[in-house]
Amino acid sequence: MTPLIGILALQGGFDAHAKMLRELGAEVRLVRVPEDLEGLDGLVLPGGESTTMMLGIAREGLAEPLRELVARGTPVLGTCAGLIISGRDRLGLIDIRVKRNAFGRQVRSFEADLDFVGFDEPVHAVFIRAPWIEEAGPGVEVLAEVDGRPVAARQGAVTVIAFHPELSGEKRLHAAFLEQCAAAGRRADA
C-alpha cells in the first residue's frame, strides 16, 4: 500500500517535505482546506512562521478538523513551526509548552548530531530559529535533547521535532514516520 500523506501547505517549507516523502515512496497531498484532510494516512506540519501559519489555520477553519484527525489516531509529524503550532497554547495536539526562537534568532541557526530514541546512529539536525520544549506533560516522551533542552517528543501518534530533517538529507525520521502511517492504516483496516 502506498501511504497518502498530507502536508499543511498554507505557508513555509512544505516542498522539501513533499520531495523527501515522494522519494521514500509516499503519495503526497498538499493540505489547504479541511476537505484536504479526508482519507489521509498521515499528516506533516512543516516549518515556517508559526504566527502566519496559525492565522491561515484560523482563516480556513482547520483547527478543529486537525484536532479530530489526531483524535482518530492519524500519525502527525510536526517540524519546527509545526512543533510550535502543535503545542498546548495553540492547536493542543500534544501536551507541551513551547519556547519560540529559543536558541536565539537567525544567528543561532546551527547543526548538530543528536542521540535520538529509537535510532542507533546519531541523527543529523539542522536548527533554524528553532523552538525548544519548555515543559512536557506526563504522557509525553522526550526523544532528543540539546544541552538538556528537549527538541523532539512524542505523545500517541503525534511526533514533533524542533529541527529540519527534510533540509539535511536525514531521511530516517521520515521513513520511520511512513512506517508508523502504514501500521496505523493496517490497524484501521483490521
Active site residues: 80, 164, 166
Beta strands at 149-155 and 158-161: parallel, antiparallel or unpaired:
antiparallel
DSSP string, 85-98: HHSTTTT-SSSEEE
Beta carbon of residue 131, minimum distance to ligand GLN (angstroms, whole number): 6
Question: Given candidates 5, 44, 45, 84, which one binds ligand GLN under the rule CB under 6 A?
Answer: 84
Q: Does 80 bind ligand GLN (CB under 6 A)?
A: yes
Q: Does 129 bind ligand GLN (CB under 6 A)?
A: yes
Question: Given candidates 28, 31, 128, 143, which one binds ligand GLN under the rule CB under 6 A?
Answer: 128
Q: What phi and psi values does residue 15 have, to the nearest 5 degrees? A: -60, -45
In order of 32, 74, 101, 149, 164, the CA distances from 11 in angstroms are 10, 22, 18, 27, 15
Site residue total, ligand GLN (CB under 6 A): 11
Tell me whether residue 94 or residue 184 sits nearer to ligand GLN (CB atom). 94
Q: Does 49 bind ligand GLN (CB under 6 A)?
A: yes
Q: Which three cell numbers stand for residue 118?
A: 529509537
Q: Does 47 bind ligand GLN (CB under 6 A)?
A: yes
Query: Across the chain, how many H-helices and E-strands are there?
Result: 6, 11
Question: Which range binds ligand GLN by CB under 6 A, 2-10, 44-52, 58-66, 148-156?
Answer: 44-52
Q: What phi and psi values does residue 92 have, to the nearest 5 degrees? A: 65, 40
Under the rule (CB under 6 A), what is the footprint of ligand GLN? 47-50, 80-81, 84, 100-101, 128-129
